[in-house]
Amino acid sequence: VERTLSIIKPDATARNITGKVNALFEEGGLRIVAQKRLHLTKAMAQQFYAVHAERSFYDELCEYMCSAPVVVQVLEGESAVTRNREIMGATNPANAAEGTVRKAFGLNVQENSVHGSDSPENAAIEISFFFSGIEIA
């Protein structure tokens, strides 16, 4: 089985809908094998999103990600990376398919409720950014 790193973003924790988001993951066939809530520092957000450092929205994105707590989690299942991105829907909620997390809960292209790793290689890097081995079970 495969694992992916998921983040329930500040817009969703602020609205107290983490359970509703998790229900879509579980109904979609993924298992939450690690989960914790924390408030990112700006430095942590900048490090996590370093791949986007050259993008125009990088600073705004990092500010947003540390504006309220997040829930970071490891999701496990068959083709978990791809499956999770299907469950999340398109980056811009306006383009997200019916039944996806971003269609149901996303507010706009930045406040789009969830992050998911984009490849198994990045999933391994992102999981180790937040979790040690014994925290995943």
Q: Evaluate whether 80 touches 28 at the Cβ level (below 8 Å).
A: no
Check the annotation: does 83 bind a ligand: no
Q: Indicate which residue of 5, 8, 10, 115 is catalytic.
A: 115
Check the annotation: does 55 bind a ligand: no
Among ligand ATP, Mg ion, none, residue 109 binds (CB under 5-8 Å by kind): ligand ATP
| Burial label, 100 (beta-carbon count in 10 A; 0-12, 13-18, 19+) | buried
Least distance from C-beta 134 to Mg ion, angstroms? Answer: 27
Check the annotation: does 42 bind a ligand: no
Q: What are phi and psi of 88, to 5 degrees?
A: -70, -45
CB atoms within 10 A of CB 4: 27
Of 46 and 112, which has the nearer Cβ to ligand ATP?
A: 112
| Binding flag, residue 67, ligand ATP (CB under 6 A) | no
How long is the chain? 137
| Binding flag, residue 112, ligand ATP (CB under 6 A) | yes
Of 90 and 133, which has the nearer Cβ to ligand ATP?
A: 90
Least distance from C-beta 137 to Mg ion, angstroms? Answer: 26
Q: Evaluate whether 81 touches 118 at the Cβ level (below 8 Å).
A: yes
* Helices 18-27 & 80-88 angle (0-180, nearest 10): 130
x/- track of binding to Mg ion for residues 85-124 (CB under 5 A)? ---------------------------------x------
- Name the residues annotated as catalytic: 115
